[in-house]
Structure 1
Amino acid sequence: MRGARVFDELAGRYDSWYSRHPITAENEVKAVAAALGGVDPCLEVGAGSGFFASRVGCRFGVDPSVGMLRIARARGVEVAQARGESLPVASGSLAGILVSVTICFLDDPRAALGEAYRALRPRGRIAVCMVPAESSWGRHYAALARAGHPFYSHARFYTVAEAGEMLEEAGFRVDSVIGTLTYPPWGLERPEDPEPYREGVHGFACLSASKGE
């Protein structure tokens, strides 16, 4: 995972984003929950501070950052230090996998999605939630990255189409794409319900995909 050391050193700063932007965070939680569909057992890849896992019923999480895992554990998530490209779980053991605001930080997202496919049981579900590169949020974060932002400078932002192609290459079928955040990062936050993703409209997208029989 890109910049794991930075996430160790600045875990508290990273996690504070959710308390500083509670309306936007809640909008994202609703989209994640809709895409994941309440499957159990569920594991979050790149669980970070456990914010999403703890809110949408993912009992398990992995992350390479020990600093992040400490916060996730305090939120009640059962965590292990591991990377998405090598999950410490048996094949076919999970009903759901969440990859939220993580694909942009993975060293090898295709390998991680292949690992997710292996770990999921037949008809298992994966939700890949992201800031699309084509959105105002993606462009804003990319600009911060170029300016040396401690987190985003380690990120590579993908379009929704690119994420969908990677899921399909791993063997998944993309069933739906859910969007939220119709306001820009500098706009007034407002509560929103998730809806079908529209390119150029939504700043947060969740691709919901399934494994075959």
Structure 2
Amino acid sequence: MQTVLYARVSTADQTIAHQRKQAEGAGFKVDVVVADEGVSGVTTALRERPEGRRLFDMLRRGDVLVVRWVDRLGRNYADVTETIRTFMHRGVVIRTVINGLTFDGATTDPMQQAVRDALIAFMAATAQAQAEATKEAQRAGIAHAKTQDGDTYKGRKPSYTREQLEIVRDRLAQGTSVSAIAKETGLSRQSIYRVQSNPAEAEAALARWAA
């Protein structure tokens, strides 16, 4: 049996090392890291990613698949639910760093199965909804940046990276407290409140600085 961390990074500001550090900080003893870089979770199914395909070949009954959150597997509802169910059918346990969720196919109790499947569906739907909200915020932010007077004026450089902004938005959507988000990301509470109050401007700032 082995514990495999799957990491997906889609922007330059995201790092595989950071996702591994998060997993180990949450108590996981990672045996193998499998990672895809520069791959979209919206348009590319796990089976279609170079390293994602490896998971279907290497994972066996009793293995544990660790992901930062279900959005690392994908941001498409149908793809994520099918992927999780496929692995559970093989006897693989899927665990998330964020929220400490566990999905496995061990239970035979119909009520427990129903609760598990409902949670899988909810998490997959949330991942897709957040991806769609992020794209909309990015479009609004870029449009906002282009309409500002004096395109050469960038304003203050953002105190956050693309990865930090995505984490902040994810946690806010999950109802995580501002204090907890600040501790996880290293950002000030004021920065997080600004993102919360005006996500379009947060995207605009990154767009102006080509982040």
TM (norm. structure 2) is: 0.34
Q: Which structure has the highest strand share of the two?
A: 1
Greater relative contact order (CA < 8 Å, ≥ 6 in sequence)? 1
Q: Which has the larger share of helix?
A: 2
Give the greater-gyration-radius structure (CA). 2
